[in-house]
């Protein structure tokens, strides 16, 4: 009798261990919010020549992989996103930086501050070149390593420099949209290529959309998000401005789930604020993307 009792006890324990093992292997059930908006994800087509995924064979990043990865999370001591303008900006450009500040605060649901602009004079001749007549460029790595990495504003979680001068990463490259050190949570981007030569009232909205996409994409990397291969998403990699224009400003349902798990905000409140922002600023396509998600969860 005693042997039977011991056998049954061992069998019971083994079954419980098996159940625990099975439970651990099962992915967590998806939050109803993300399950609902998944219907609005637009799957990527086959990449064409010149597209990012045509030349970069990326596997993407699942939500489970993101959860297991090492990435920053906001704390009381590290919870503010900073923008550092570099150069001499026009009135319209300054307006775009104000709108960018407002957008990033809504997008990441974190306090965002724009620091005072610093002069282009901080860049020495050794970190400048003329690509062609009257087209000066700054070495992106110099701005990143010698200026931005040294800045430690209060409670900084991420810092993005914004130059009005075109950037290049190394002598053999023509230009680069931006450069970032994700380990240091610091990046630099240029508005030069976003503005089709000159920012005007006629191209203001298109150029603003580009700035919002590129900035949220780069800072998204700082929070541990990889390039998205799941759907048309602001975290898609891009090889050109035309490809950036084709990409959605919306985070797909998977990437939204990643960011939400990191920053822990109210998803519906964020979505409502984004919809209102796009509506106020006459960004029609972007507004409709947010409205589609809101219509589903209401």
The yes-or-no verdict on residue 27 having pLDDT over 80 is no
Task: Report d(CA 179, CA 214) in Å as an integer.
Answer: 11
The yes-or-no verdict on residue 262 having pLDDT over 90 is yes
The yes-or-no verdict on residue 24 having pLDDT over 70 is no
pLDDT average, residue stretch 59-74: 95
Angle at 34 between CA 31 and CA 39, to 5 degrees: 140
- pLDDT confidence of residue 28: 57
Task: Report d(CA 280, CA 100) in Å as an integer.
Answer: 14
Helices (H) and strands (E) in the chain, counts: 11, 8
The yes-or-no verdict on residue 127 having pLDDT over 70 is yes
- pLDDT confidence of residue 134: 87
User: 47 in helix, strand or coil?
Assistant: coil
The yes-or-no verdict on residue 141 having pLDDT over 90 is yes
19 versus 285: the higher-pLDDT residue is: 285
Instruction: Pick the closest to residue 118 from 159, 172, 156 (CA basis).
Output: 159
The yes-or-no verdict on residue 37 having pLDDT over 50 is yes
- pLDDT confidence of residue 132: 87
Task: Report d(CA 17, CA 12) in Å as an integer.
Answer: 9
User: 181 in helix, strand or coil?
Assistant: strand
The yes-or-no verdict on residue 111 having pLDDT over 50 is yes
The yes-or-no verdict on residue 293 having pLDDT over 50 is yes
Which among 98, 102, 133, 218 is annotated as catalytic? 218
- The answer to whether 112 touches 83, Cβ cutoff 8 Å, is yes
Say how far residue 31 (Cα) sits from the centre of its chain: 22
Task: Report d(CA 55, CA 48) in Å as an integer.
Answer: 9
Percentage of the chain with pLDDT > 70? 90
pLDDT average, residue stretch 201-226: 96
- The answer to whether 133 touches 118, Cβ cutoff 8 Å, is no
Catalytic residue at 116?
no
């Amino acid at each position: 009798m005693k042997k039977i009792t011991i056998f049954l006890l061992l069998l019971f324990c083994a079954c419980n261990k098996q159940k625990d093992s099975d439970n651990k292997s099962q992915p967590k059930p998806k939050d109803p919010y993300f399950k609902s908006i998944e219907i609005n994800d637009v799957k990527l087509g086959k990449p064409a020549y010149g597209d990012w995924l045509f030349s970069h064979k990326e596997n993407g990043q699942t939500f489970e992989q993101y959860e297991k990865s090492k990435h920053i999370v906001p704390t009381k001591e590290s919870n503010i996103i900073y923008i550092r303008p570099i150069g001499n900006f026009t009135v319209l450009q300054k307006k775009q930086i104000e709108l960018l500040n407002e957008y990033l605060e809504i997008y990441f649901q974190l306090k965002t501050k724009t620091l005072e602009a610093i002069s282009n004079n901080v860049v020495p001749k050794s970190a400048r070149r003329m690509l062609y007549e009257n087209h000066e460029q700054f070495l992106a790595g110099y701005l990143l390593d010698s200026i931005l990495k040294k800045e430690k504003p209060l409670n900084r979680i991420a810092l993005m420099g914004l130059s009005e001068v075109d950037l290049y990463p190394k002598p053999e490259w023509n230009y680069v949209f931006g450069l970032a050190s994700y380990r240091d949570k610091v990046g630099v981007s240029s508005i030069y290529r976003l503005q089709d030569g000159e920012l005007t009232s006629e191209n203001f909205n298109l150029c603003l959309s580009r700035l919002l996409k590129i900035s949220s994409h780069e800072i998204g990397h700082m929070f541990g998000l990889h390039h998205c291969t799941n759907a048309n998403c602001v975290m898609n990699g891009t090889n050109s401005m035309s490809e950036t224009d084709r990409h959605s400003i919306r985070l797909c349902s998977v990437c939204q789930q990643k960011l939400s798990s990191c920053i822990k905000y109210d998803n519906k409140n964020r979505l409502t604020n984004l919809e209102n922002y796009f509506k106020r600023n006459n960004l029609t396509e972007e507004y409709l993307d947010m409205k589609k998600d809101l219509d589903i969860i209401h």
